Structure 1
Amino acid sequence: MHPPTAARPLRADAERTVRTILDAAERVLGRNPNATLEQIAEAAGVARTTVHRRFASRDDLIRTMAIEAWRRMDAAVDAARPHTAPPLVALHQATANVIAIKHGAAYALDRVGPADGEVADIRAAVFGKCDTALRRAQAEGIVPADADLDWVRRVYLALITETVHGDSEPDTPADPDTLARRVIDTLLHGVAGTPRDR
């Protein structure tokens, strides 16, 4: 008797198809929240049956979009080396990476929250890495020693969210590095002297 095996990973071409559908869904639903799976399939350049074969329902598609976005954010924060890079470098790079991802995934991220167990787990991992960078920044005197780091993180995340949602030109967002610099400057110094991003 053979031991049970995990589900086989998708072939490369199937992965590309799923990625194409997810990208098209974010674009289409971002412009028209009532768009159908058929409209998403058309935008992705695939047959409607292909979308239905990959996703059981519209809700399943949106949930997959959100989980994929959180996985990408988790990897993007890892890439900023929150445990080893100088704290300000790590915070800046993580912020720029997350802003870039959230600009392209805002629709799904707004609709699938931490009540979803898988989203909650990935989100907690991302927040934990953020806390690591903030603790290191506090240890180096970049963040005041008496600052409540839970509050600092909440303000930091709110600034990122407002940066993404408050963009008046979402189809042509400002450079993520410029936006990240504004977020970090505002977090550490308040609005006085915060540079304009445009």
Structure 2
Amino acid sequence: MEQKSRQRPPRADAQRTVQAILEAAERVLGSDPAATMEQIAQAAGVARTTVHRRFTSREALVEALTAWATRQFHEAVTSAHPDSTPPLVALYQVTANVLRVKTGWGFAMSRAVPEDPDVARVHADVLDRCDRLFRRAREAGVLRPDTDLAWARRVYYALIHEAAQNRPDGTDDVDERATLVVDTLLRGVGGRGDALLG
């Protein structure tokens, strides 16, 4: 009887080792993009040979890190169930989830290139989900009926980017920053127009 060769999934301890290396790589490379594999190994608490067994080169490690962050970004959006959760709730949850990924995996997210087929596929799916969420938000009255959804989405992306990069008011609280992003998107920063015309 011919035995089929099957690729076994990595053992739990091997997965934990890879996860520790990726997390260490994000921390180390985020502080020093020129850091060596040895520095990453030290930060991960493993031998340099362990890192080389898992990743054949520094470039391979960075590619794996970018792929991991891309999957986390996709999970951040899908886990908020933007197609079924009430639009306003989903908007807050997606925002908080994405900010966690962008602040926790900033180096890796900055390395994601749109030309990469996996990255492109994830971003296309996220874009589609965001468009559907914004349409649902407009239908539910969360956004004005005359809202230009493409413009609103671009503004939303820019607000998330700023909140991830600059941490308004110096806060490290992701939920507070998510609230600020959504409130700014929905309410703006200006006063009442009639008061200005006054």
TM-score range, shorter chain: 0.7 to 0.9
Q: 1:181 aligned to 179, 182, 187, which one?
A: 179
Alignment check: 8 A CA contact 2:26 2:107 kept: yes
Q: Distance in 1 between the 2:152 and 2:29 partners?
A: 32
Q: Which has more radius of gyration?
A: 2
Give the % identical residues: 51
The corresponding residue for 1:196 is none
- SS across alignment from 1:61: helix
Structure 2: gaps (5+ residues):
192-198
Over 2 Å off, 4+ runs: 1-5, 144-148
Deviation at 1:61, TM superposition (A): 1.5
The corresponding residue for 2:14 is 14
Q: Distance in 2 between the 1:128 and 1:139 partners?
A: 17
Q: Distance in 1 between the 2:74 and 2:128 partners?
A: 10
Deviation at 1:144, TM superposition (A): 2.2
Alignment check: 8 A CA contact 2:70 2:112 kept: no
The corresponding residue for 1:103 is 103
In the superposition, the TM-score normalised over structure 1's length comes to 0.88
Structure 1: gaps (5+ residues):
194-198
- SS across alignment from 1:16: helix
Question: Residues 55-110 of structure 1, C-alpha deviation per residue, up to 9 Å, x if partnerless?
Answer: 12222212221221121222222221101111010010111011112111001111
The corresponding residue for 2:151 is 151
Greater share of helix: 2
Q: Distance in 2 between the 1:120 and 1:56 partners?
A: 25
RMSD of aligned residue pairs (Cα, Å): 2.0
Aligned residues: 190
Q: Distance in 2 between the 1:138 and 1:60 partners?
A: 43
Q: Distance in 1 between the 2:3 and 2:190 partners?
A: 66
In the superposition, the TM-score normalised over structure 2's length comes to 0.88
